Amino acid sequence: MKKVLLVTDGVFHPPFLARKALRSALSELDGFHFEHIRSMEKLPDNLGTFSAMVLYFHHAKISEGALVKVDKFVSDGGGVFGIHSATASFKDEKRYFEILGGRFAGHGPVESFMVEGLESDIFGDIDDFIVKDELYLHETTTGIDIHFTAKYEGEKIPVVWTYSYGNGRVVYAVPGHTAETLKNKTYQKLLQQGLKWVTSE
């Protein structure tokens, strides 16, 4: 049984109903046990017993102690799955963005866009799909592997990437501003596949 720590918080951003849909989708996976906290400041002392953390929140500050815990967890082989506003949190912490593989740089309006998949052993045969969401723009770290893109001002930009940090695995996915997005069955399949990958050995 793989233990996964869900670090999720928010009523409007991210929406409570989106967080609920995320938990419901991930709970469909066999062989996983989930525990939930609402803040990185509440990371348990036994963090090393977890296979991965899922980060879905929009918070301004993280303490040095919590950041050190996250860094060690991932460096030692733990998985991290960041969703939407995870990359817009803790904007002053360079090390946090080095862990996730990218830093939020802005976004367009909430509008419909096509999420287009590239050939991927990790995400398999997930079809292209449309969401109505915020399309985040990022400054990304060298070494990310892009699996899904969307078009912004005529250019393809990363929407889902994977990344290695130390001995750990990282996935980040842009969509997540609306509850409707997290209820999208294709996106839920993507999230499930991503969690399987970050927890695999």
pLDDT score of 125: 86
pLDDT score of 179: 97
Count of structural domains within the chain: 1
The pLDDT tens digits for 100-157 are 999 999 998 999 999 999 988 899 889 999 999 999 999 999 999 999 999 999 999 9
Residue-range definition of the domain harbouring residue 83: 2-198
Tokens of 132: 């109505």
Low-confidence ranges of the chain (pLDDT < 70): none
Q: What is the pTM of this model?
A: 0.97
pLDDT score of 120: 85
* CATH code of the domain in which 141 resides: 3.40.50.880
